[in-house]
Structure 1
Amino acid sequence: MYPDTPNKADPNFSVRGVGNPTGRVLCRQGDGTLYDTREQRTVTMGELVFEVRTGKRFHAYNRLTGLDCTYRTLAAVIAEGTALLSTAFQ
């Protein structure tokens, strides 16, 4: 696990501004990489694009501040998904 990452197994854990999140919980690192805190592994943007398309939920928070950054991450997922679609039709 990354240092300074809160323990999501703790029943008192909550992402600041979100409460107790449902679905996948992602930690956004300083370099923009996403880390699944429950599976303890890095998640690719392509993986997340597929999961969003199939209706799966996620919450993301900033590792340094603990603040919710789900919308920012979702915007990146949408942009990545759009880029994948545009290259598929060229």
Structure 2
Amino acid sequence: MPDAETLRVQVRLSDLEHPELHAALNALPVRSRAERLRQLALLGWRALASASHPTAMSAGAETASAADTSAAPDPRRAQLLAALRLDD
């Protein structure tokens, strides 16, 4: 397997500044915390990327949007969302 470039990030999370996130991560086993942060970062990045490219409001865009919602859901996205176990 070829070596991939690795980016190492150290995160410190204050329970005073981010109590909900701190509590959610603290409830996980130590080795699962990094994976959960990667999942959250990926979801946040995808949300920002999609928000920065809004579709034009036209009949063609509305038709394309309707077609997109009827398509099968992305299995990777569904897996990430299921792993988050967020309560609404």
- Asked if TM exceeds 0.5, the reply is no
User: Which of the two has greater helix per residue?
Assistant: 2
Structure with higher Rg: it is 2
- Write 1 or 2 for the structure with the bigger share of strand: 1
Report which structure shows greater RCO (CA 8 Å, sep ≥6). 1
